[in-house]
């Protein structure tokens, strides 16, 4: 085997602490180190060309670069190997800058020794690397958008305008979502339907969009690039091609009148009706729950569009990617009985007020007290009903309620200047310049703001409502009468979120909204490749943010599918069927459901496998291996690290690729100093750490082992670090039984920003291990 080893000076970033000349001499003596060079700047053009030249002239078959963090320049050197005609996966990068020279500036001799040990570990792994190949798989460029609200509409139109064919599935009879029911939208007080209706019509008329209403996705199989989708479409009992939308004809003769769900019960609708005047598609539907089958609508329809024989249809198609934009539902205010919603008719919600203010609403824009039919003189808004409330299990802020109440208060004040309006709030959330101006404008209109949560609403003998509340700014308890009370109800996840989670294999957060891959860096990515989340499906947000996320999700889809093919990740899990015993533990552990059992053998969907390695660590028969992160490679690194015990205590650290390794990098970038006793092995996830790795480290003479991963609940692979947590806790009990102090195994959960905490962890471990002595020196009780 012919290995080229390249040690970077990085100016003085490395060479100031590490004795590069001495390090090069030591590496020269290692077996298989055919070429060993030190270069001022390895990433420079001249440095890269030097590697290419050596590969060709010296027939090198593997390359090790000892330089900065692989997170910075590993792609650079992979391209170098490819350019030289060498498989890019035959590269090993050793971090002797962020995790060596920068953090051990006070002990240059030990930093040099550590750099040498890291290179020996890298060479040991490098010898076992395989030349992996990236396979390409053809994908369909069709896209599924689930949900026809403003986020889904924006995503669908962006994709369709870019030449992608889109299936939009909406469970209601019309698209438009909650925005189509609003009167005006803050902070500009534009007419909501005026700005949305043209986009709704564009969806229906776009040649690249198939609009499927009154439908739900019942099953999704396959993986990124080729999702097979099954949709169940309920019967409308009206032929969409024939219906002309003249609801007066059929609705006028229908004898059944029910509460209109699109007016939230304030208005009435017939069993055959148009959801809203601006509905898309502009087609009536029959509500089968209330239709009595009298046949009058069929007789009255001039277009012969009524079809009582329609049945539920099953539609099937294949898409390359999915955008989930299912929106939200409003908090049920009756869950706060102290406010009397559903008991006192003059207590309504903000959305009900939206419908009263709307010219197409049940009262054609007139706001009247339900119990008297008069215009209210005194109105109260109560904020945070169903938000920021642990009692109803909604501790989060719904973000839009403050602004929505201010908007509706402004509209009431403009229509009825003499109206006395008070907003009872906990804290006003009006972030941003335009929102702050909006808040100031609301105050300037004479609208009152009282800080403090309303305790309860009680009826007075006069028929008015009495609000009992504390003014927390004045420190006073008040009871004031009002004609009408508006409850600013918060947002909750959709009712069928659990079903959607099962169908799409998504996870939900503690607030029950759908989880995204990363709240800052990947705000529209889900944990499943090829599925993106936009709008309020991932949590409460304003209309403009939902629109932005719809565009962002569409952009992600285009980036994914633009080439018409996908590259498989060669670092996925792979099953040896001869070793598999069919226990299905791996399938249970996999958070992404990418392992299935076929003929009692585990089979991995390698195209969409996320490569975390949790399955491999859990396999009792070692039948699952991770390409380029095999057990043998990790064992070789452990043995190389402990082959020459250059200092005491020696700590082997398994750091996850996403957070704890980057956290260690940050410690170096920040020049946080800590002891040089640690030898790092990078794994994709803490869930990849097999207990056998820890036991091997102790058997080979390591004095301590650190397993560090992302903070619990923030794992890149959903809950894979919980697997690691349970596994390591069980291992600590085993260590105790075999006579090893369980405190020698340290488990830590770190964010990528906690560099100082990482350094402190190493210092604490060194201090403890120095106190108890080398491995094997414990004086534990005999196992029971």
Which CATH number does the domain housing residue 588 bear? 3.30.70
Which residue range(s) make up the domain with 435? Answer: 329-492
CB 17 within 8 A of CB 105: yes
Please check whether residue 483 lies inside any domain of the structure.
yes
Phi-psi region of 342 (alpha: psi -120 to 50; beta: other; left: phi over 0): left
468 and 507 in a single domain? The answer is no
* pLDDT at residue 782 is higher than 50: no
Q: Are strands 3-8 and 62-67 parallel, antiparallel or unpaired?
A: parallel
Share of the chain above pLDDT 70, in %: 99
* pLDDT at residue 521 is higher than 80: no
pLDDT-based confidence at residue 571 (cuts at 50, 70, 90): confident
pLDDT confidence of residue 780: 42
438 and 578 in a single domain? The answer is no
pLDDT tens digit sequence for 110-140: 999 999 999 999 999 999 999 998 888 899 9
664 and 517 in a single domain? The answer is no
For position 151, which CATH number holds? Answer: 3.50.50.60
Tell me the C-alpha to C-alpha distance, in Å, between residue 493 and each of 394, 534, 733.
Answer: 11, 13, 41
Residue 124 neighbours by CB distance under 10 Å: 21
Question: Which of 529, 544, 561 delimits the end of a domain?
Answer: 561
Question: Which of 448, 469, 492 delimits the end of a domain?
Answer: 492
CA distance 501 to 169: 16
Cite the beta strand spans of 274-427 per DSSP E: 285-286, 313-319, 321-324, 329-330, 347-349, 378-385, 420-425
pLDDT confidence of residue 778: 66
Q: Which two tokens stand for residue 183?
A: 């009167």
Q: Which helix (H) or strand (E) holds 547?
A: helix 543-561
pLDDT confidence of residue 765: 98
Whether the bond between 55 and the residue before it is cis, its omega within 30 degrees of 0, is: no
Closest to 144 (Cα-Cα) out of 218, 61, 48:
218
469 and 528 in a single domain? The answer is no
Please check whether residue 203 lies inside any domain of the structure.
yes
Q: Are strands 476-482 and 465-471 parallel, antiparallel or unpaired?
A: antiparallel
User: What is the per-residue burial (b if ≥16 Cβ within 10 Å, else e) of 412-451?
Assistant: bbeeeeebbbbbbbbebbbeeeebeebbeebeeeebebbb
298 and 323 in a single domain? The answer is no
Helix boundaries (H) for 700-754: 720-737
* pLDDT at residue 432 is higher than 80: no
CA distance 3 to 35: 7
Side-chain-side CA neighbours of residue 194 (13 Å)? 9
Please check whether residue 260 lies inside any domain of the structure.
yes
pLDDT-based confidence at residue 568 (cuts at 50, 70, 90): confident
Structural domain count of the chain? 6
CA distance 632 to 567: 26
CA distance 287 to 251: 12
Tell me the C-alpha to C-alpha distance, in Å, between residue 779 and each of 698, 728, 729, 741, 769.
Answer: 16, 22, 21, 9, 14
- DSSP-assigned states of every residue in 567-617: E--TTSEEE-TTT-----HHHHH-TT--EEEETTEEEE-TTT-----HHHH
Residue 676 burial (CB < 10 Å; 0-12/13-18/19+)? buried
**β partners of residue 93:** 65
pLDDT confidence of residue 713: 79
Please check whether residue 605 lies inside any domain of the structure.
yes
CA distance 285 to 631: 61
Residue 320 burial (CB < 10 Å; 0-12/13-18/19+)? buried
CA distance 68 to 139: 37
482 and 511 in a single domain? The answer is no
Threshold 0.85, pTM exceeds = no
Give the mean pLDDT of 145-165. 98
List phi, psi (to 5°) of 187: -95, 5
**β partners of residue 168:** 145, 211
For position 73, which CATH number holds? Answer: 3.40.50
pLDDT-based confidence at residue 42 (cuts at 50, 70, 90): very high
Q: Which two tokens stand for residue 310?
A: 């329609």
pLDDT confidence of residue 481: 97
pLDDT confidence of residue 783: 40
Residue 417 CB partners (closer than 8 Å, separation 6+): none
Please check whether residue 405 lies inside any domain of the structure.
yes
Closest to 652 (Cα-Cα) out of 709, 702, 708:
702
CA distance 154 to 148: 9
Closest to 189 (Cα-Cα) out of 7, 408, 447, 381:
408
Residue 592 burial (CB < 10 Å; 0-12/13-18/19+)? buried
Please check whether residue 781 lies inside any domain of the structure.
no
208 and 266 in a single domain? The answer is no
550 and 578 in a single domain? The answer is no
211 and 352 in a single domain? The answer is no
What SS3 class is residue 238?
A: strand
Phi-psi region of 732 (alpha: psi -120 to 50; beta: other; left: phi over 0): alpha
Question: Which of 492, 513, 546 delimits the end of a domain?
Answer: 492
193 and 208 in a single domain? The answer is yes
Choice among 41-55, 301-315, 326-340, 521-535 with the minimum mean pLDDT: 521-535
pLDDT confidence of residue 776: 82
pLDDT tens digit sequence for 243-298: 999 999 999 999 999 999 999 989 999 999 999 999 999 999 999 999 999 999 99
CA distance 594 to 573: 10
Give the mean pLDDT of 510-530. 88
pLDDT tens digit sequence for 200-249: 999 999 999 999 999 999 999 988 999 999 999 999 999 999 999 999 99
Please check whether residue 504 lies inside any domain of the structure.
yes
* pLDDT at residue 539 is higher than 80: yes
Give the mean pLDDT of 186-204. 96
Measured at the CA of 544, the angle between CA 538 and CA 548, to 5 degrees, comes to 65
Q: Which residue's structure tokens are 């304030």? A: 266
* pLDDT at residue 784 is higher than 80: no
- Alpha carbon 480 to its chain's center: 45
CA distance 166 to 145: 7
First to last CA, the chain: 50
Please check whether residue 617 lies inside any domain of the structure.
no
Rg (CA), the chain: 32
749 and 739 in a single domain? The answer is yes
674 and 758 in a single domain? The answer is yes
- Alpha carbon 347 to its chain's center: 37
């Amino acid at each position: 085997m012919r290995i080229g080893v390249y040690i970077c000076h990085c100016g003085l970033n490395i060479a100031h602490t590490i004795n590069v000349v001495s390090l090069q001499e030591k590496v020269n003596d290692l077996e298989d180190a055919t070429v060993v060079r030190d270069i001022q700047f390895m990433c420079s053009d001249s440095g890269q060309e030097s590697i290419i030249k050596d590969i060709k002239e010296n027939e090198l078959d593997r390359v090790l670069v000892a330089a900065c963090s692989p997170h910075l320049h590993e792609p650079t050197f992979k391209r170098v190997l490819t350019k030289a005609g060498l498989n890019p996966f035959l590269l090993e990068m050793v971090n002797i800058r962020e995790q060596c020279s920068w953090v051990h500036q006070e002990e240059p001799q030990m930093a040099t020794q550590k750099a040498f040990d890291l290179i020996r570990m890298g060479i040991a792994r490098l010898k076992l690397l395989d030349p992996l190949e990236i396979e390409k798989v053809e994908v369909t460029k069709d896209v599924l958008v689930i949900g026809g609200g403003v986020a889904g509409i924006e995503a669908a139109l962006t994709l369709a305008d870019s030449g992608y064919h889109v299936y939009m599935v909406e469970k209601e009879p019309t698209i438009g979502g909650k925005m189509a029911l609003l009167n005006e939208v803050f902070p500009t007080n534009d007419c909501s339907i005026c700005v949305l209706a043209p986009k709704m019509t564009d969806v229906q008329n776009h040649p690249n969009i198939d609009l499927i209403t009154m439908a739900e996705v019942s099953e999704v199989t396959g993986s990124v690039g080729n999702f097979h989708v099954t949709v169940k479409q309920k019967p409308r009992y009206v032929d969409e091609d024939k219906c002309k939308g003249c609801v007066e004809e059929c609705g006028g003769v229908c004898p059944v009148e029910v509460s209109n769900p699109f007016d939230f019960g304030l208005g009435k609708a017939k069993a055959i009706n148009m959801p809203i005047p601006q509905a898309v598609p502009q087609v009536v539907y029959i509500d089968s729950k209330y239709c009595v089958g009298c046949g009058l609508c069929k007789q009255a329809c001039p277009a012969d569009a009524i079809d009582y024989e329609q049945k539920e249809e099953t539609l099937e198609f294949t898409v390359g990617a999915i955008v989930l934009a299912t929106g939200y539902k409003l908090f049920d205010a009756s869950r706060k009985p102290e406010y009397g919603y559903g008991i006192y008719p003059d207590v309504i919600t903000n959305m009900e007020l939206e419908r009263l203010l709307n010219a197409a609403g049940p009262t054609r824009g007139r706001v009247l007290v339900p119990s008297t039919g008069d215009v209210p003189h005194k109105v109260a808004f109560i904020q945070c009903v169903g938000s920021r409330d642990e009692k109803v299990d909604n501790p989060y802020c719904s973000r839009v309620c403050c602004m929505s109440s201010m908007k509706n208060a402004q509209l009431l004040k403009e229509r009825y200047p003499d109206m006395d309006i008070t907003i009872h709030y906990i804290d006003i959330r009006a972030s941003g310049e335009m929102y702050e101006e909006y808040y100031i404008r609301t105050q300037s209109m004479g609208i009152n703001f009282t800080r403090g949560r309303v305790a309860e609403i009680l009826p007075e003998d006069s028929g008015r409502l009495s609000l009992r509340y504390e003014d927390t700014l004045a420190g006073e308890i008040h009871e004031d009468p009002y004609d009408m009370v508006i409850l600013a109800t918060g947002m909750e996840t959709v009712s069928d979120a659990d079903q959607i989670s099962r169908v799409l294999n998504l996870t939900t957060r503690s607030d029950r909204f759908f989880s995204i891959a990363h709240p800052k860096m990947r705000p529209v990515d889900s944990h499943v490749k090829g599925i993106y989340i936009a709008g309020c499906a991932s949590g409460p947000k304003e209309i403009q943010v939902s629109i932005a996320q719809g565009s962002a999700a569409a952009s992600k889809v285009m980036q994914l599918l633009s080439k018409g093919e996908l590259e498989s990740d060669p670092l996925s899990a792979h099953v040896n069927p001869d070793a598999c015993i069919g226990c299905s533990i791996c399938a249970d552990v996999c958070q992404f459901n990418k392992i299935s059992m076929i003929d009692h053998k585990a089979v991995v969907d390698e195209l969409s496998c996320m490569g975390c390695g949790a399955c491999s660590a859990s396999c009792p028969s070692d039948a699952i291996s991770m390409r380029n992160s095999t057990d043998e490679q990790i064992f070789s690194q452990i043995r190389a690290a402990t082959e020459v015990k250059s200092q005491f205590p020696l700590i082997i650290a398994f750091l996850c690729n996403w957070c704890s390794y980057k956290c260690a990098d940050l410690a170096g970038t920040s020049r946080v100093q800590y002891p040089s006793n640690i030898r790092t092995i990078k794994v994709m996830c803490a869930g990849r750490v097999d207990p056998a790795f820890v036991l091997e480290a102790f058997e080979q003479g390591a004095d301590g082992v650190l397993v560090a991963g992302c903070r619990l609940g923030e794992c890149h692979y959903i809950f894979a670090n919980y697997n690691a947590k349970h596994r390591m806790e069980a291992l600590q009990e085993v260590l105790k039984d075999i006579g090893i102090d369980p405190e020698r195994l340290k488990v830590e959960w770190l964010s990528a920003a906690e560099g100082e905490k990482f350094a402190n962890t190493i210092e604490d471990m060194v201090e403890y291990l120095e106190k108890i002595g080398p491995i094997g020196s414990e004086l534990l009780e005999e196992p029971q």
